[in-house]
Every structure is written in structure tokens, then in C-alpha cells.
Amino acid sequence: ESSLKKKLPLTGKTALVTAGPTFEAIDPVRFIGNHSSGKMGFAIAERLHMLGADVTLVSGPTSQKLTYTGLKFIPVTSAAEMLDEVSANFESADVTVMSAAVADYRPKVVAQQKIKKESADLAIELEKTTDILATIGKQKKPGQLLIGFALETNDEESNAIKKIEKKNLDFIVLNSLNDHGAGFQGDENKITIIDRDHHKEYFSLKSKHQVAEDICNKILEALK
Ligand code: CTP
Ligand code: CA
């Protein structure tokens, strides 16, 4: 063996990461979206890559740029497109981290032409999108690690714990919008990691790159 090529902790492992928001079309010029910047997911994908994993990053629309080459990048727009790409890549993934802020609802009908301001009010009927994480949670095989995120404003820990069960996760990363400085758009995040045994680990407010390191350390621990 060459001593020059040092073996990294995730060499030989395949990782799948989702990032960013999804955009759900209303008409050719409008969509329903959210404020996710994609920063957290990009930082996790790059950290897993640095640790030696073969990384596929599926991301909704963001202005983030990858700073490393060698990751497989799959851009998507809608929740339906993200579902297709995640489904195609999940079976071969040893580790999957779903940090995307997927839209929960989409317009039931997409107008083929721009909607004109004809009436005083406008109602757009919405339907639920497929829960991507719950879908792959059902397909998870022994040995596969599945990590979800939870964004809560109230009853945070009990809501996050319900998601661990419902989506068959190994652990969940809870971020609370109530925490000052943390959240969707900024460069910092404050998280709690909760595992299947409801064991909680609290982290301080830190940069999203440092948060990605904490999450990946937890992944390394879980793979042992
Ligand atoms: N998620 C997903 N597909 C969806 C919605 C959410 O894969 N259609 C994933 C997110 O990427 C995240 C996790 O599910 O990892 C939890 O997302 P969150 O919005 O906190 O929870 P929901 O299950 O959507 O429930 P709610 O928004 O009602 O709290
Ligand atoms: Ca949601």
C-alpha cells in the first residue's frame, strides 16, 4: 500500500446530502419557496467529502458554490424533482443527510400562463408534497445511516422525537428559530442532536462549518 495516500475515515463510503429550499411553481413566473440558504447542507456535503466519502449533493435553488471539486452535484427545483433524485441515489448511500427545507405544499394546478390580476382576491389551492425523508426511511436497510433535520418553533424536542420515529431516523438535528442568531439565512446555527434513544446533545451557537463538523463527528461515532 502507498503510504502517500492516507486513508480517511469515510474512504469507501457513499454519502447523499440534500440542501436548500424547493420552489413550487404557481405559474410560469411565480413560485412558493422559503428562506433556506443551502449553507448548512453544502457545509455538510463538503465536510463528508473532506472525510473521504463519495458525496452526492442534491440541492434546490441556492446561490451557494462548492469550494471543492470531486462532489457530484445535482441541482433540482421542486420537491418532486428532489424526490426523484434522492430515490435514485438512496439505495447505494451508506450515509444520508436530509438538510433541505422541502416545501410541504405545492399548487394543485400550475397555471400554464401568467395569472392576471383580474379579481380582488386570489385563492391558490395547495396539495401536500411527498415526504422525501419518510419515503426513504421506509426503504432503509440495516447498515444505512439516515439523518434528518427538524425546524420547530414550539415543543421542539417532543416534535423532533416524533419525527425520529415517523421517518425511521438514526438521529435528528434540531434547530430552533427561537434561538437568536441561528436559522435559515445566517452563517451560524445552534443545534441539538437527538438520537433514537432520545439521548440529547446540546451544542452552542457556532458557524455552520463548525456545526457541520459536529454533525459529521456524530456520523463517524454512529458508524463505529
Ligand atoms: N422533509 C422531506 N420531504 C418533505 C418535507 C420534509 O424530506 N416533503 C424532510 C426535511 O428535509 C427534514 C425533515 O423532513 O430533514 C423534517 O422537516 P420538517 O419541515 O422539520 O418536518 P415535516 O415532517 O415537514 O413536518 P412540519 O413541517 O409539519 O413540522
Ligand atoms: Ca415541513
Q: Residue 195: which of 218, 223, 166 has the closest Cα?
A: 218
Judge whether 176 lies within some domain. Answer: yes
Given a contact cutoff of 8 angstroms between Cβ atoms, the answer to whether 120 and 45 are in contact is: no
Type of residue numbered 32: I
Rounded CA-CA distance 89/60 in Å is: 16
Ligand nearest to the CA of 102: 1
How many structural domains compose the chain? 1
| Res 1 pLDDT > 60 | no
- Ligand 2 center to 52 CA (angstroms): 31
Our CA dihedral for 134, 139, 142, 143, rounded to 10 degrees, sits at -70
Decide if 34 is catalytic. yes
pLDDT band at 153 (very low <50, low <70, confident <90, very high): confident
In a domain, 8, yes or no: no
Task: Please report which confidence band the pLDDT of residue 128 belongs to, taking 50, 70 and 90 as the band edges.
Answer: very high
Ligand 1 pocket, residues with Cβ under 6 angstroms: 79, 98, 100, 102, 104, 129, 131-133, 148-151, 163
Counting ligands in written order, which one lies closest to the CA of residue 149?
A: 1
CA distance linking residue 133 with residue 107, whole number of Å: 21
**58-86 residues labelled b (16+ CB within 10 A) or e (exposed):** bbbbbebeeeeeebeebebbbbebbbebb
Residues in CB range of 100: below 8 A, 6 or more apart: 18, 19, 20, 21, 22, 36, 41, 58, 59, 60, 82, 132
For 48, phi then psi, to 5°, come to -65, -40
State the DSSP code for 115. Answer: P
Percent of the chain with pLDDT over 70: 94
Domain assignment present for residue 118? The answer is no
Q: Tell me the residues surrounding ligand 2 (ion) with CB < 5 Å.
A: 104
The Å distance, Cα 150 to ligand 1 centre, comes to 7
| Domain of residue 186, CATH code | 3.40.50.10300
Encode pLDDT of 186-219 as tens digits.
889 999 999 999 999 999 999 999 999 999 999 9
| pLDDT of 81 over the 80 cut | yes
Confirm whether 113 is domain-assigned. Answer: no
Report yes or no on 174 lying in a domain.
Answer: yes
Name the 3-class secondary structure at 23: coil
ipTM of this complex > 0.85? yes
Residue 61 lies in a domain: yes
Question: Binding residue per annotation — 190?
Answer: no
Lookup: cell for 18: 440534500
Expressed in angstroms and rounded, the spacing between residue 159 Cα and the centre of ligand 1 is 11
How much is the pLDDT for 112? 97
Q: Residue 75's domain spans which residues?
A: 14-108+126-223
C-beta of residue 171 within 8 angstroms of C-beta of residue 193 = yes
- Residue 116 assigned as binding residue: no
Give pLDDT, residue 77. 98
Pocket test for ligand 1, best of 76, 87, 131 (most atoms within 8 A of CB): 131
Residues 6+ apart with CB under 8 A from 42: 19, 57, 59, 62, 64, 66
Residue 138 falls inside a structural domain: yes
Known binder of ligand: residue 39? no
Is 163 labeled as ligand-binding?
Answer: yes
In whole numbers, what is the pLDDT of the chain averaged over residues? 94
87 domain residue, yes or no:
yes
Asked whether the predicted pLDDT for residue 183 surpasses 90, the reply is no
Distance, CA 126 to ligand 2 centroid (Å)? 14
- The pLDDT of residue 185 is 72
Instruction: Map residue 138 onto helix, strand or coil.
Output: helix
